Amino acid sequence: MFRQMKNIDTAFRHMRVFSMLFLLVCAGVTVFAIYSAKKMVAASQNRIYVLANDKAIEAFARERRDNIPVEAKDHVKMFHQYFFSLDPDNKVIQSNITKALYLADASAKRQYDMLRENGYYQDLIAGNISQTIEADSIIISTDSYPFYFTYKGKLTIVRPSTIVTRSMITEGYLRNVSRSDNNPHGFLIEKWRTLENRDLKSVNR
């Protein structure tokens, strides 16, 4: 009888050890599953898809500070393209200038008003003149805020009789604003001014 009770007691101890081990394994599996799930959720939140040419292309989100130089350069580039790439069509001019003015402050509006008052845009339309700008270099200084930039590019003016190439250098500052459809990079150009706008060459057509 004592032997039987001893066997029962031993069996009970074995069952208790087994149960504790089983609970520890279950707890470990649960903790690992929760950790893995959180890791997968965090990874999925940093993953975005961009629709380009009807195809979903995977991209990865990064902190804004990591993208400041790239986004700032593209913001400055797009502003200059909208402001200076014009055709002899009033609707095209108004559309491009409107897009440009969303990306800059009153300093750009003042320059636009001055050109308009001097008849610059009317001369483009009357003379069937087109102009495009191409960036040579865009330098962004992120050492201090607002971010200082210099833009160097070539402005090509196509007239019925000649093609003129001009050197264009501008400078300004960038400050952060809210992103929107009209301002996807979330920057605003301030204190924008032209440092150089001179002829490089003129070719007869």
What is the CATH classification number for the domain harbouring 75? 3.10.450.230
Q: Are residues 179 and 146 in the same domain?
A: yes
Is residue 142 within 8 A of residue 64, CB to CB? The reply is no
For the question of whether the overall pTM of this predicted structure is more than 0.75, the answer is: no
| Residue tagged 């909208």 (tokens) | 82
pLDDT tens digit sequence for 22-68 = 778 887 888 887 887 777 666 555 556 555 555 555 555 555 566 88
Q: Are residues 38 and 139 in the same domain?
A: no
What's the CA gap between 103 and 174, in Å, rounded? 10
What's the CA gap between 76 and 85, in Å, rounded? 14
Residue 53 within a domain: no
Q: Calculate mean pLDDT across residues 126-155.
A: 96
pLDDT tens digit sequence for 95-134 = 999 999 999 999 999 999 999 999 999 999 999 999 999 9
Q: Are residues 129 and 155 in the same domain?
A: yes
3-state secondary structure 113-152: HHHHHCCHHHHHHHCCCEEEEEEEEEEEECCCCCEEEEEE
Q: Are residues 43 and 70 in the same domain?
A: no
Q: What's the Cα-to-Cα distance from 181 to each of 87, 176, 185, rounded to whole Å?
A: 24, 15, 9
Q: Are residues 38 and 98 in the same domain?
A: no
Q: Are residues 31 and 101 in the same domain?
A: no
Phi first, then psi, for residue 77 (nearest 5°) are -65, -45
Stronger pLDDT, 72 or 34, i.e. the higher one: 72
pLDDT tens digit sequence for 150-199 = 999 999 999 999 999 999 999 999 999 999 999 999 999 999 999 999 99
- Residue range(s) defining the domain that contains residue 21: 2-47
